[in-house]
Amino acid sequence: MMGIKIRNLTKSYSGKRVFYKLNADLPDTGYVAILGHSGIGKSSLLRMIAGLEEPDAGEILFFNPSQPKISIVFQEDRLLPHLSARENVALVGNDHQQDLVRADQILDQLGLEDCKTQKVNELSGGMKRRVALARALLYGGDIFLLDECFAGLDKKTRVIVTNTLDHLQEHALVIIVTHNLQDLKKKDKYILRLEALNDISD
């Protein structure tokens, strides 16, 4: 079933065209991998899907549901360094005590059981990526936008994250920006190759 319809999406920054009449139909659940070289607009597309940026022309339409809840993990971790991992995750909830319990559960699931109470500025880059992902999981949603969520992860933690996302994509749409399909090589997925879809010629 269709989840997102992208039609004639056009976007420029400071006179440089990034998208021109981009079209794509995305499912309502499962994996979507967005591929493309640096600067082609992968992160910009995520931001427009999330409603954080407006296209210059064209539209993004949502179906099933028509007003989805969207959770995003940015390329930058965007964590509060003076708070612990669990406190950062719980920030997006509505019931702080219950959210701390849920944060602990998600961090355990992502292999961070030994550093839940550590301040974020004491964590490695790969740990911070998983804390950012945990925050998105606690927030929940119909659509998850993940910008380079495997960055900084070793082989073991990649497997842990992939297993978590495998369960998530059964009932939500998981859109992943990546340079490398190896993390999803055995998965059923929709591949969005921006070079092939995006005509930026004048």
Residue 195's pLDDT is 76
Task: Work out the average pLDDT over 152-165.
Answer: 92
Confidence label for 198 from pLDDT (cuts 50, 70 and 90) = low
Whether 116 is covered by a domain: the verdict is yes
Inter-helix orientation angle 155-168/125-139, to 10°: 10
Contact 87, 119 (CB under 8 A): no
Whether 10 is covered by a domain: the verdict is no
**Residue 57 token pair:** 């022309």
Q: pLDDT: is 162 or 180 the higher one?
A: 162
What does the mean pLDDT of the chain come to?
91
Domain coverage including residue 133:
29-52+66-193
- How many domains, the chain? 1
Whole-model pTM: value is: 0.92
Q: Give the DSSP letter of residue 182.
A: G
Whether 160 is covered by a domain: the verdict is yes
For residue 146, how many C-alpha atoms fall within 13 Å in the half-sphere facing its CB? 32
Return the sign of the alpha-carbon dihedral for residues 28, 60, 46, 134: negative
| 108-119 pLDDT tens trace | 999 999 999 999
